[in-house]
Structure 1
Amino acid sequence: MKLNLDSKTAVVTGTGRGIGLATVKALISEGVHVVGAARTITRELSQSGAIPVSADLSTAEGVATLMEKALAELGGLELLVNNVGAGDALEPAGFLDTDDAQWEAIFDLNLLSAVRISRAALPSLIKHRGCIVNVSSINSRLPAAGPVAYSAAKAALTAFGKSLAEEFGPQGVRVNTVSPGVVRTSVWEDPDGFGGKIAASAGVEHAAFLEQIPQAFSITTGRITEPREVASLIAFLLSDVAGNVTGADYVIDGGALKAV
């Protein structure tokens, strides 16, 4: 299948690793000119072929820096992937252990970054009849599956995408959401990350915890999702092949979400 993305321009956020980095690589392989934003420019991002921009997207100033550099480098914007989220500070904490500062930090990164970037990008996206993909989570549908503030932020992000699709669809801009389940990223695989913290709190070795994830999350396929698989779905939704798909939320979780 030809996606016909050659020579298009894109901004992808949260590209230092994981889904964001895989999305950068997928788009570049399709001939897209990509600006990849990350708080820390990793070696992998530097070598990906993207134009790397260092910015803290949890702040309005970071978003302004990104969009100013992106528009200067690309000349115009046709594709936007709001992928940045979770964050290294995500904790397996309950509601009563999550204070206002943690709520604000999680919403700034997981929701308001997409709000601010989309606002800045939309004039160019409207001009080029472009496309947005927001990366949410199955936590938006299964709020008990994760930290309450993160789940609430992702639910708001999914709703935000629906609203953008409705408002800007008549002007030629498509907006869709991708909601992954557990993906093989540092969020789960880093012993000091979210997955490592869950394992420690349960008194389980981290390696054993990772092996048990498919069963614990009732993943039908028996394995967790690879970043490149999410990236492929994102690339498809950005392409004209999906030209009449908008306002949709695509779950990619190996069958973990059982609801109709």
Structure 2
Amino acid sequence: MDLQLSGKVAVVTGASQGIGLAVTRTLLAEGARVVAASRRRSPELDALEGDLLHVPADLMDPEEPGRVVARAVAEFGGLDILVNNAGGPPPGVDLPRFSFMAPTDDDWREMFEFNLFSAVRAMRAAIPPMLARGGGAIVNVSTGGARLPAPMNVDYNAAKAGLTNLAKAVSEEYAPQGIRVNTVSPGPVRTAWWTKSGGAADIIAAATGSDRDDVLTKVAPEMMALSTGRLVEPQEIADVVVLLASPRSASTTGADFAVDGGFLKQV
């Protein structure tokens, strides 16, 4: 299926690995021109082929989201797509945390800066150039935890719940002007958050008396009641993100798509 993305200009945040890398790869394969924002490059990002520009950015800095968008407009002449993918543990933080009492005030501030406010700033910067081109598409990557609150990662889930709410509000304001805003809510995804040394697999293994391989293949899917019995792959998220960014989804806005292996059970 032709997604009608050839020549479109996209900004993807958190693009050097995981979901963001998969989204960037998929957009390039569809002929889009992509500005990939991340704190550092990666060999996997450098290996991608296509019309790609990496912009180093620390999205904890309030000025950086706007600078990334401005760079896309300057290099490619406008903006059609924004994928707010950057999120998860702020730099230097490992998750999960298991209790409401665990995060400090500073932890809460950093979590909201990274997972909500950076997206607010990116959307604020992206909307004017999208309006100048007659419309565009914004896709925010949230989490199933935004709709299924739990004591584990309470600060992260609260920040992402704000992001999910924000997308619906902005979609309502700008849909008449041609800008669609949607949310993709993953379950646990096999990314560095889980697999890196000291990451979620190791933390849960220590808490449950398991080993990290069992956590990734059995303990975590059972703990999160995943109907598929496995973690989600980044490409499975990317496929939905890119479809939502495409003109083929022209009547889809204000929606939240769960790509979570059956984590959310609610109707």
- TM-score normalised by the chain length of structure 1: 0.96
What's the counterpart of residue 113 of structure 1? 118
What's the counterpart of residue 80 of structure 1? 82
Change over 3 Å in CA distance of 1:8–1:256 after alignment to 2: same
What's the counterpart of residue 91 of structure 1? 95
Contact 1:78 1:125 survives alignment (8 Å): yes
SS of residue paired to 1:146: coil
What's the counterpart of residue 227 of structure 1? 234
What's the counterpart of residue 35 of structure 1? 35
| Identity %, equivalent residues | 45
Contact 1:191 1:206 survives alignment (8 Å): no
Change over 3 Å in CA distance of 1:115–1:179 after alignment to 2: same
Contact 1:191 1:197 survives alignment (8 Å): no
Report matched runs for 1:157-172 at 5 Å. 157-172=163-178
Determine which of 186, 193, 197 is the counterpart of 1:187.
Answer: 193
Q: How many residues align?
A: 260
> Structure 1 CA distance, aligned partners of 2:61 and 2:201?
26
Letter of the structure 1 residue corresponding to residue 20 of structure 2: G
Q: Gapped runs of 5+ residues in structure 1?
A: none
> Structure 2 CA distance, aligned partners of 1:7 and 1:80?
14
Contact 2:116 2:162 survives alignment (8 Å): yes
What's the counterpart of residue 8 of structure 2? 8
Deviations 1:194-213 (A, max 9, x none): 33222222232111111212
What's the counterpart of residue 61 of structure 1? 63
Deviation of 1:90 after TM superposition, in Å, equals: 3.7
Contact 1:215 1:222 survives alignment (8 Å): yes
Contact 1:139 1:145 survives alignment (8 Å): no
Deviation of 1:82 after TM superposition, in Å, equals: 0.3
Deviation of 1:145 after TM superposition, in Å, equals: 6.4
Deviations 1:48-70 (A, max 9, x none): 24211110011112223322322
Determine which of 129, 136, 144 is the counterpart of 1:124.
Answer: 129
SS of residue paired to 2:63: helix
Q: Gapped runs of 5+ residues in structure 2?
A: none
Letter of the structure 2 residue corresponding to residue 206 of structure 1: R
Tell me, yes or no, if structure 1 residue 44 matches structure 2 residue 49.
no
Tell me, yes or no, if structure 1 residue 251 matches structure 2 residue 258.
yes
Bigger fraction of residues in helix: 1
> Structure 2 CA distance, aligned partners of 1:19 and 1:102?
24
> Structure 1 CA distance, aligned partners of 2:260 and 2:186?
5
Determine which of 204, 225, 228 is the counterpart of 1:198.
Answer: 204
SS of residue paired to 2:36: strand
What's the counterpart of residue 137 of structure 1? 143
> Structure 1 CA distance, aligned partners of 2:120 and 2:36?
18
Alignment RMSD (CA, Å): 1.3
Contact 1:12 1:20 survives alignment (8 Å): yes
What's the counterpart of residue 71 of structure 1? 73
> Structure 2 CA distance, aligned partners of 1:217 and 1:96?
21
Letter of the structure 2 residue corresponding to residue 131 of structure 1: A
> Structure 2 CA distance, aligned partners of 1:231 and 1:92?
24
- TM-score normalised by the chain length of structure 2: 0.94
> Structure 2 CA distance, aligned partners of 1:145 and 1:240?
39
Letter of the structure 2 residue corresponding to residue 133 of structure 1: V
> Structure 2 CA distance, aligned partners of 1:29 and 1:146?
37
